Amino acid sequence: MSVIDPEAFRRFEHLGWQEIASRYHDGFAAVTTQSTTALLDAASVGPGVRVLDVACGPGYVTAAAAGRGSIATGIDFSSEMIQEACDRYPAFDFREGDAEQLAFGDSEFAAVVSNFGMLHLGRPELAIREAFRVLQSGGRIAFTVWDTADKAIAFGIVIAAIQKYGDLNVPIPPGPPFFRFSNAEESRRVLSAAGFKNPVVTQVPQVWRLESPETLFDVMYNGSVRNAALLRAQKPEVLEAIRAEIRAGVQQRHCELPMPAVLASAEKGK
Ligand SMILES: C[S@@+](CC[C@H](N)C(=O)[O-])C[C@H]1O[C@@H](n2cnc3c(N)ncnc32)[C@H](O)[C@@H]1O
Q: What is the pLDDT of residues 5-21, one digit of tens each?
A: 999 999 999 999 999 99
Whether 77 lines ligand 1, by a CB cut-off of 6 Å, is: yes
pLDDT of residue 3: 86
pTM above 0.85, yes or no: yes
Pocket test for ligand 1, best of 7, 26, 62, 78 (most atoms within 8 A of CB): 78
CB of 217 shorter than 6 A to ligand 1: no
Q: Which of 17, 79, 224 to mutate to test the pocket of ligand 1 (most atoms within 8 A of CB)?
A: 17
Length of the chain: 270
pLDDT for the residue numbered 152: 98
Q: 151 phi and psi, to 5 degrees?
A: -110, -45
> Does ligand 1 come within 6 angstroms of the Cβ of 143?
no
User: Residues in the chain with pLDDT < 50?
Assistant: none
Tell me the CA–centroid distance for residue 75 and ligand 1, in Å.
Answer: 9
d(C-alpha 259, C-alpha 270), whole Å: 35
Which atom, in ligand 1's list, is nearest to the CA of 224?
Answer: 1
Kindly state the percentage of the chain with pLDDT values over 70.
Answer: 100
Q: What share of the chain is helix, strand, coil (3-state, %, to 5)?
A: 45, 20, 30
